[in-house]
Amino acid sequence: MTNTTSPVPPNEILILSQTAVYALKAVLHLAEQAAHAPLRVDDITKAVGVPRNYLSKVLHALAREGILVSARGPKGGFQLAGRADELFLGEVIAQFDDIAAGSGCLLGRERCSDESPCAAHQRWRDVSNAVRQFLDQTTIADLTHSGARLELEHLGVD
C-alpha cells in the first residue's frame, strides 16, 4: 500500500545486492560532485533515490572502512576519503557482498570432481573471474562522467 514501486522485480538476477548498488551510486555521486564541502545524507538521498535511513547506514559502513569521511552537526556530511581514481568498485562493495566466495564450481561442489575437471566448469570459472576482475580493476573515476569522457576520448571514440 505504501509501496513505492519495489526496486527489484522478483526473480531478477542481480549479481550485486541492492545494498551494494546503493553504495556504488552514493560513492559515484560524491565523486561527481567533487565537492569541497561534505554532502548531507538527505541530499545524497535525493540524488540517488535511496531510502534515507538505509542509505545512512550504508554510508556509515563505508566511513568505518575509511572509504568516506563523515562529520556530524552543521557543515557535516560525507566526503570521499581519497581519490576517485584510486578507489576500486570492489572496495566499495566489499562490506556488503562477499565477492570472494562463489569462486568455485557452477554447481556449488567445492571443486569439480578430480575425475572430470570438466571443460565447461573451467569456462564458468572464466565467467565469474570476469566479474571479479571488473570489480577489482574498475575505479569509481571510470564511472564518472568526466572519467568516462576521458577514457572515450583517449580511445578515439566520438
Partner from DNA, a copy of itself, none binding residue 115, C-beta < 5-8 Å depending on class = a copy of itself
Partner from DNA, a copy of itself, none binding residue 127, C-beta < 5-8 Å depending on class = a copy of itself
Write down the least CB distance from residue 141 to a copy of itself, Å: 9
What whole-number distance in Å separates Cα of residue 140 and Cα of residue 29?
10
Q: Would you tell me the crossing angle of helices 52-64 and 18-33 to the nearest 10 degrees?
A: 80
In the numeric block, which cell numbers belong to residue 71? Answer: 562529520
CB contact at 8 A, 78 and 44: yes
Using rule CB under 8 A, residue 69 touches a copy of itself: no
In the numeric block, which cell numbers belong to residue 41? Answer: 545524507
Of 7, 51, 66, 82, the one binding a copy of itself (CB under 8 A) is 7
Burial zone of 2 (CB within 10 Å; 0-12 exposed, 13-18 middle, 19+ buried): exposed
Using rule CB under 7 A, residue 51 touches DNA: yes
In the numeric block, which cell numbers belong to residue 96? Answer: 556488503
For residues 59-98, which are near DNA according to CB under 7 A? 59-60, 63, 70-78, 96
Contact footprint for DNA (CB under 7 A): 1-4, 6-8, 10-11, 17-19, 22, 38-42, 50-51, 53-54, 56-57, 59-60, 63, 70-78, 96
